[in-house]
């Protein structure tokens, strides 16, 4: 698949699925005054774009360093846009990640039941 199409799909999924999850978790942990929905969309879209740029710049064994940099970037984005500390940003990221994973499994299962693709192997 064309890398630009893949990037566009990732951005759309981040905006449609990840942003509401980030917003919900952020609202719970930092309050509705600091966690705006538009901020959650910015976190999701910028996070995807920056992660893809890092992935492109650090292929192969550099991906280990790239993963660490990406984690820090996501935490910085959450910290900046939700105006919170490092620990709260980490907690938001972990909880949002778990919820996002569960939603992804549910969507995958529904698509499987509808005849679109196969279930991912967890083994």
Give a yes or no: residue 20 inside a domain.
Answer: yes
Give a yes or no: residue 88 inside a domain.
Answer: yes
> Which pLDDT tens digit goes with each residue over 68-112?
999 999 999 999 999 999 999 999 999 999 999 999 889 888 888
d(CA 98, CA 50): 21
Give a yes or no: residue 123 inside a domain.
Answer: no
pTM assigned to the model: 0.86
In b/e form, how buried is each residue of 18-49, taking b as 16+ CB within 10 angstroms? bbbbbbbbbbebbeeeebeeebbbbbbbbbbe
- Look at the chain and report how many structural domains it folds into: 1
Give a yes or no: residue 69 inside a domain.
Answer: yes
Which pair of structure tokens corresponds to residue 101? 């994973």
Give a yes or no: residue 120 inside a domain.
Answer: no
Q: Are 11 and 60 in contact (CB under 8 A)?
A: no
Give a yes or no: residue 50 inside a domain.
Answer: yes
Q: For residue 10, what are the domain limits?
A: 3-113
> Which pLDDT tens digit goes with each residue over 15-62?
899 999 999 999 999 999 999 999 999 999 999 999 999 998 998 888
Give a yes or no: residue 121 inside a domain.
Answer: no
Give a yes or no: residue 122 inside a domain.
Answer: no
Helices (H), 1-123: 3-13, 19-30, 37-57, 62-81, 86-113
d(CA 112, CA 9): 19
Which pair of structure tokens corresponds to residue 41? 């969309």
């Amino acid at each position: 698949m064309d890398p630009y199409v893949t990037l566009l799909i990732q951005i759309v999924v981040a905006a449609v699925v990840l942003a509401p999850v980030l917003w919900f978790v952020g609202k719970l942990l930092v309050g509705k005054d600091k966690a705006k929905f538009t901020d959650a969309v910015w976190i999701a879209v910028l996070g995807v774009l920056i992660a893809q740029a890092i992935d492109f710049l650090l292929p192969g064994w550099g991906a280990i360093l790239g993963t660490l940099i990406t984690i820090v970037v996501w935490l910085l984005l959450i910290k900046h846009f939700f105006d919170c500390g490092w620990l709260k940003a980490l907690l938001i990221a972990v909880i949002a990640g778990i919820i996002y994973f569960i939603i992804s499994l549910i969507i995958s299962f529904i698509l499987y039941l509808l005849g679109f693709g196969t279930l991912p192997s967890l083994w």
